[in-house]
């Protein structure tokens, strides 16, 4: 039986994503009612700048007092699309204290304080959904924490930031330098005026923390994720990658240790073979590989950012939470029963592509090879070019603990025949 009394929704934030959420709620109101089994009504919109014209939103709904909106007593669900840590954290806590379930797109907050927020939701018997926090429109969080809940996920690897993928794709396809590609991304609206969160890997690291927690049923915070940005990636790196039959992507990689007793989470640029499906992910798209014991390899692909795609994920959560409200039930909460430790990056087994500037004279290669051997690192391939007393030496290693590889690089820097380390990059996807 269809319920006639509407479920009332408070929208916290009305920027690019929030305005799209409001638009879809209005234009698809009848469809949402049929899908949920009751009407959903936008009961208030909390903003910082009330004077701004917001097309399609009744000005009477606008308020600058988000706390008062949540405390007024008739709100059923809050949608938080403010972003950042505060006031979002305080508002979500207030919502739970007043019997309001929450849909959030806040990756930074969930990566930092997800455990506390989950605990608060559970304490009050409420939902916390956040599909939009990880990969925009791509259904990823719910399949991992529901569809794959009976399986064992061993590895997650993917492109989870559209801005960086756009920049790297342009560098690869056009030969542009980093700054030139960044300028194009900014002009097209893919990059913020301050792109630090994207290009230094902070955005991807927050998403990696959330995904690792879901995949491995353990708590992984932002501080647990090893992070490297991609500002040092050069056209020369892409040239080297092409000679290896590879391209370069900024990857989030989450792995369960072979013995199952720990996990790792990392974000960094890496070379991947052109034959790998992630190599063909172009422009600002995202794609994530999930490797599960029974299900095998699954790939999730689509637009990972933008107002409408992210709003689609928010509305999907809204429908799920609203249905739970009607059924007087809650969906899955935090699953952290394994409590596995997060190993440091030094314990991760990886491969390196290292480009060295060396003196062009006999014995240099032997000296470099000896340094690798002394640190327990095996060399896969070596390529040397040189003239006029200078040479370039490119070494690709076999897999070894990252600490051993890092130690090798530091030792190489001290050799009198090594003029400099031109670039270092990990090799993945093989």
Residues marked as catalytic: 207
The CB-side HSE value for 304 (13 A sphere, CA atoms) comes to: 29
- CA dist., res. 110 & res. 119, Å (int): 12
Nearest Cα residue to 238 out of 203, 296, 279: 279
Nearest to 153 by CA among 207, 212, 205, 208: 212
Query: What secondary structure letter does DSSP report for 386?
Result: E
Contact 274, 246 (CB under 8 A): yes
Question: Using CA atoms, how far apart are residues 217 and 23, in angstroms rounded to an integer?
Answer: 36
Number of neighbours of residue 416 by Cβ within 10 angstroms: 7
Cα–Cα distances (Å) from 212 to 126, 164, 216, 221, 278, in that order, read 23, 21, 6, 9, 19
| Cα–Cα dist 174/102, whole Å | 43
CA 389 to CA 371: how far, in whole Å? 22
Which two three-digit tokens encode residue 270? 């890496």
């Amino acid at each position: 039986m269809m319920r006639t009394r509407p479920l009332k929704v408070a929208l916290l934030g009305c920027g690019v994503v929030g305005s799209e959420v409001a638009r879809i709620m209005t234009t698809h109101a009848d469809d949402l009612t049929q899908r949920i089994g009751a009407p959903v009504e936008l009961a208030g919109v909390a903003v910082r700048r009330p004077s701004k014209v917001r097309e399609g939103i009744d000005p009477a709904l606008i308020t600058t007092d988000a706390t008062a909106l949540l405390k007024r007593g008739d709100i059923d669900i809050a949608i938080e699309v403010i972003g950042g840590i505060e006031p979002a954290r305080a508002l979500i806590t207030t919502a739970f204290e007043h019997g309001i379930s929450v849909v959030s797109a806040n990756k930074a907050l969930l990566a930092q304080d997800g455990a506390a927020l989950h605990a608060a939701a559970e304490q009050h018997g409420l939902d916390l959904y956040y599909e939009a926090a990880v990969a925009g429109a791509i259904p990823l969080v719910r399949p991992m924490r529901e569809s794959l809940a009976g399986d064992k996920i061993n590895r997650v690897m993917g492109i989870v930031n559209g801005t960086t993928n756009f920049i790297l794709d342009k560098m690869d396809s056009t030969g542009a330098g980093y700054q030139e590609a960044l300028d194009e991304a900014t002009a097209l609206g893919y990059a913020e005026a301050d792109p630090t969160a994207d290009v230094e890997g902070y955005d991807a690291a927050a998403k990696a923390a959330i995904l690792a927690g879901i995949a491995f049923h353990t708590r992984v915070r932002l501080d647990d994720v090893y992070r490297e940005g991609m500002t040092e990636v050069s056209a020369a790196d892409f040239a080297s990658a092409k000679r290896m039959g590879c391209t370069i992507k900024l990857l989030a990689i989450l792995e369960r240790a072979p013995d199952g007793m720990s996990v790792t989470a990392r974000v960094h640029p890496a070379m991947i073979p052109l034959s790998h499906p992630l190599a063909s992910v172009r422009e600002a798209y995202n794609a994530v590989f999930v490797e599960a014991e029974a299900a095998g390899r699954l790939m999730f692909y689509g637009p990972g950012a933008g107002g409408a795609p992210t709003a689609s994920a928010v509305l999907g959560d809204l429908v799920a939470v609203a249905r739970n409200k009607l059924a007087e039930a809650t969906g899955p909460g935090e699953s952290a029963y394994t409590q596995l430790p997060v190993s440091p990056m030094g314990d991760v087994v990886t491969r390196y592509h290292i480009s060295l500037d060396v003196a062009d004279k006999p014995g240099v290669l032997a000296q470099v090879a000896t340094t690798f051997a002394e640190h327990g690192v095996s060399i896969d391939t070596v390529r040397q070019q040189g003239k006029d007393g200078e040479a370039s030496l490119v070494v690709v290693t076999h897999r070894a603990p990252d600490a051993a590889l890092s130690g090798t690089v530091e030792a190489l820097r001290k050799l009198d025949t090594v003029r400099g380390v031109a670039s270092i990059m990990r090799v993945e996807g093989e």
